[in-house]
Chains A and B, each alone.
Chain A
Amino acid sequence: MRRLAAALAGLLVVGGVAVALSLEPARADSHDLEPGSIERGARLYQAGCATCHGDSGEGVDGWPPIVNAGEASADFQLRTGRMPYAQERGQQAQRKPPAYGEQEIRDLVAFVASLGDGPAIPEVTLDPALLSPGQRLFASNCAPCHGASGNGGALGGGAIAWPLTDAPPLIVAEAMITGPGQMPIFDWPQEDLNATVTYVEYLRSAPSPGGFSIGGIGPVPEGLVAWFVGMAALAAVVYLVGREWDRTGDGG
């Protein structure tokens, strides 16, 4: 069993390093602005965003101003496809495949950041030593809406707390410091941010013992499996064992 735990930890570290590496370029680019990036972003912004958010991010007709949204918010909204917004007004922005390419997102983020004073894209590191504090922070602050297993939960008013299963660490960190939609802002010290993101990544990637996972969200899938796998199998067994094998038998 200790070997299993070691394997779990090892897998987490490997996964964590891979993720951290893949995030590295995006982070570097966002800090070292390429020449012309803001100008390119401004053109994209005029074409795709200004109708609602206004020419300089002030917000038109009650649509949200984004003057102080900052890099983190713009990056989160564009990368998860929440923006451009495609719902009836007042509805929760839906996750979609991103509408812009990587370079376009960087340019747009640079432009939005230039509008005012908002949070920069955070830097997070995954650290297995922070798993336990991360679990504690997650259980108190994230699980009430997103669920203990991070599989999402229903909020009132037609909104849902999205499953975290598709959320890479940087996206999680961006959501925490910008508070998209109904989510509160969790503007925490760096170590707490790292701890939470580490635990979310653990939930996403670490294998959970016990066999085939049916969601890890408890009794709803378990009840369905109990009836439609367990009871169904036993009903078949009952029929096979109990059917009349020998019609001519005289009943002993």
Chain B
Amino acid sequence: MFRWLDERLGLAGWARTGLRKVFPDHWSFLFGEVTLFCLVVLVLTGVFLTLFYVPDSTPVVYDGVYLPLHGQTVSAAYASTLDISFEVRAGLVMRQVHHWAALVFVAAIVVHQLRVFFTGAYRRPREINWLVGIGLLVFALAMGITGYSLPDDLLSGTGLRIIHSVIISIPFLGPWIGSLLFGGEFPGHAIISRLFVFHIMLLPALLIGLVGVHLAILWRQKHTQWRGARETESNVVGKAFWPTQVFKSTGLMMLTAAVLALMGGLIQINPVWIYGPFDPTRVSAPAQPDWYVGWLDGALRLFPPIEFTLFGITIPSPFIPGVLLPGLAFGIMTLWPFIESRVTGDNREHHLLDRPRDAPLRTAIGVAALSVFVILTLSAGNDVAAVILNVPLEATTNLLRLAVLVVPIAVGVLTYRVCVELTRREAAAPGGTRPVAVRLRRTADGGFEEVD
């Protein structure tokens, strides 16, 4: 069988090198794999949901088993989501696993990206894969936003309304883009079926294709690694793909799927039957997007409601927090490897990772940016916090406004000082600046002795 294939495809040589590919040993390298396995779970559960979901906003009379909505006029999309939840065998657990996997998917992407950032793994020659990674993040977010809106419930409809408002806030182009995308005035007639095409066809194709590129570049360029006794800039130390890494990865995939399945089976998520069908005349509170869009919602909440005119063009208040801010954030993130090499003048190839303390300025900037992101994300839930803590809504808003200005500077400075101090202590400690591997020899009487 293998010979038959090899004679026709000539894969043996390729497989021989491929199977010997070396994976570094450190556990932090596995977050990228977790992301990949979340994607596998998403595709599998997503295909199942596609079999039952109806991408259509045509009004129908709901006659399913959920009594509080029985006899009400809802969209076909919403009715099919209720059917998936209550009448399709295993439908609810599939929906829940899919949604939890989506939330964890983006979380794993973020953790993976933080690992890459804080260790400087994006430096030459890996800038391209950094860019591909940013593309993956963007597509993952787009997948999340389009998927969140598909059930056509009141919460997701409220989210679409906010997205629509942000889109039409773009000077000149906004109203045109809005009409084009939604098929007229909000809510339009076309948005659900279009979101569906984006969510199950266009974006998955782009996402999975780009994952292929991401892995191919990784394979070609080989892994980065931590500095160690044997690790240098010109080798890769670790375990071979076969057998070690294959088993590690398979186990990791099973365990990732297990965690997601447990969450989907045990913890309720997005109970759309409680929110009710979308109706443009209604709104529910609290209304939040899924966590990875929370920072944008938070920015909209914190930004003062100012509207001004520039060269005769009115700039509506959602434009700066809703369009400029994410544009700026993704712009800086995308260009970061190039900005850094320009600033530091370091254009050499790097295959050994920095520890966060080795690049105090980068680490400080990263932590400060992360704190902005966290505070904005928390701000998206300020009304929930106001109810739980029984404090005035305005107090939470003002406190978070202050925090988003002060905290990043404070944690940035603190991080920088901590990094510098750690490096200084290390230099002062006996044994030099780097951890040294100690080789031990077992003696005949059972003791150990160090060898050089």
Binding site for B on A (CB under 8 A): 1-2, 4-5, 8-9, 94, 128, 131-132, 134-136, 139-140, 143-145, 147-149, 151-161, 163, 199, 202-203, 208-214, 216-220, 222-223, 225-227, 229-231, 233-235, 237-239, 241-244, 249, 251-252
Query: A13 CB to closest chain B CB, in angstroms?
Result: 11
Q: Does B86 contact A (CB under 8 A)?
A: yes
When distances are taken between beta carbons in the complex, the residues of chain B under 8 Å from A145 are 285
Find out whether the CB atom of A139 lies under 8 angstroms from the CB atom of B276.
yes
Q: Across the two chains, which residue of chain A brings its CB closest to B392? A: A158
Q: Does B340 touch A at the CB level, under 8 Å?
A: no
Known: A132-B68, A139-B154, A216-B271. A244 touches B25 (CB 8 A): yes
B25, B111, B268, B390: the one within 8 Å of A235 (CB): B111
In the bound complex, residues from chain B placing their C-beta under 8 Å from that of A239 are 27
Name 30 A/B residue pairs within 8 A (Cβ), A-sorted.
A2-B65, A5-B65, A5-B66, A131-B68, A135-B69, A135-B276, A147-B284, A147-B285, A148-B155, A154-B382, A156-B393, A199-B68, A208-B273, A210-B269, A212-B268, A213-B271, A214-B269, A219-B290, A220-B381, A222-B269, A223-B377, A226-B100, A226-B104, A229-B267, A230-B100, A231-B107, A234-B34, A243-B27, A251-B239, A252-B244
Closest chain B residue, CB of each to CB of A237: B255
Q: Is B419 an interface residue (CB 8 A)?
A: no
A148 B269 Cβ-Cβ under 8 A: no
Interface string of B279-315 (1 = CB under 8 A from A): 1011111111111001000000000000000000000
Q: A147-B284, A153-B383, A252-B244 are contacts. A238–B27 as well, Cβ < 8 Å?
A: yes
Q: Contact check, B107 vs A140: say whether CB atoms are below 8 A apart.
A: no
Could you tell me if A218 and B288 are in contact, using CB atoms closer than 8 angstroms?
yes
Please report the C-alpha to C-alpha distance between residue A242 and residue B23 in the assembled complex, in whole angstroms.
11
| Chain B residues within 8 Å of A158, by CB | 391-395
CB within 8 Å for A211 and B239 given contacts A153-B285, A219-B288, A241-B251: no
* Smallest beta-carbon distance A4→chain B, Å: 7
Residues of B within 8 A of A243 (CB): 27
> Which residue, A128, A134, A212, A217, has most C-beta atoms of chain B within 10 A?
A217
Which residue of chain B has its CB nearest to the CB of A143? Answer: B284
Residues of A within 8 A of B287 (CB): 218
- If A143-B284, A148-B284, A208-B271 touch, does A242 touch B29 (CB 8 Å cutoff)? yes
Closest-CB distance, B92 to chain A (whole angstroms):
6
Closest approach, in angstroms, between the C-beta of B242 and any C-beta of chain A?
A: 9
B26 pairs with A148, CB closer than 8 A = no
| CB-CB under 8 A for A233 and B259, given A238-B30, A238-B34 | yes
* CB of B15, distance to nearest CB on chain A (Å): 16
- Known A-B contacts A148-B154, A202-B68; the reply to A214 vs B240 at CB < 8 A is no
Q: Is B434 an interface residue (CB 8 A)?
A: no
Closest to B437 in A: A247
**Residues of the B chain whose Cβ atoms lie less than 8 Å from the Cβ of A209:** 85-86, 92, 268
Contacts of A4 in B (CB 8 A): 65, 86
Q: Which of B92, B238, B274 has the most CB of A within 10 A?
A: B274
Distance (whole angstroms) from the CB of B275 to the closest CB of chain A: 5
Q: How far is the CA of A211 from the CA of B267 in the complex (A)?
A: 5
Residue of B with least CB distance to A235? B111
B281 — nearest CB in chain A belongs to which residue?
A140
Interface string of B240-270 (1 = CB under 8 A from A): 1000100010011001100110010111111
Would A242 and B104 be within 8 Å (CB), given that A132-B71, A211-B268 are in contact?
no
* B residues in contact with A139, CB < 8 Å: 154, 276, 279, 282, 284
Residues of B within 8 A of A218 (CB): 155, 270, 275, 286-288
Q: How far is the CA of A72 from the CA of B291 in the complex (A)?
A: 42
A9 B268 Cβ-Cβ under 8 A: no
A230 touching B27, Cβ below 8 Å: no
| Contacting residues, chain A, for B100 (C-beta < 8 A) | 226, 230
Expressed in whole angstroms, the minimum distance between the Cβ of A46 and any Cβ of chain B is: 32
Give the nearest-CB partner of B248 in chain A.
Answer: A241
Give Cα A1 to B66, complex, Å: 10
Q: Which 8 A-B pairs have the closest CB atoms?
A: A242-B27, A223-B291, A158-B392, A210-B268, A226-B103, A252-B240, A5-B65, A153-B285
The verdict on B22 contacting chain A, using a C-beta distance below 8 Å, is yes
Contact indicator B267/A237 (Cβ below 8 Å): no
A225 contacts B267, C-beta separation under 8 Å: yes
Instruction: Find chain A residues with CB under 8 A from B282 CB.
Output: 139-140, 143-144
A227 to B22, CA, bound (A): 31
B370 at the interface (CB under 8 A from A): no
The answer for the CA separation of A226 and B279 in the assembled complex, in Å, is: 29
Known: A148-B274, A154-B386, A210-B269. A237 touches B394 (CB 8 A): no
Residues of the A chain whose Cβ atoms lie less than 8 Å from the Cβ of B377: 223
Q: Are the C-beta atoms of B288 and A8 separated by less than 8 Å?
A: no
- A223:B68 contact, CB within 8 angstroms: no
Bound CA span A60–B96, Å: 56
B251 neighbours in A (Cβ, 8 Å): 241
Whether A131 lies near B286 (C-beta < 8 A) is no
Find chain A residues with CB under 8 A from B29 CB.
Answer: 242
B291 A226 Cβ-Cβ under 8 A: yes
Chain A residue contacts of B266, Cβ below 8 A: 211-212
- B440 to chain A minimum Cβ distance, whole angstroms, is 10
Nearest-neighbour CB distance to chain A for B404, whole angstroms, equals 18
- Residues on the B chain within 8 Å of A208, using CB: 268, 271, 273-274
Tell me the bound Cα distance from A163 to B380 in angstroms: 20
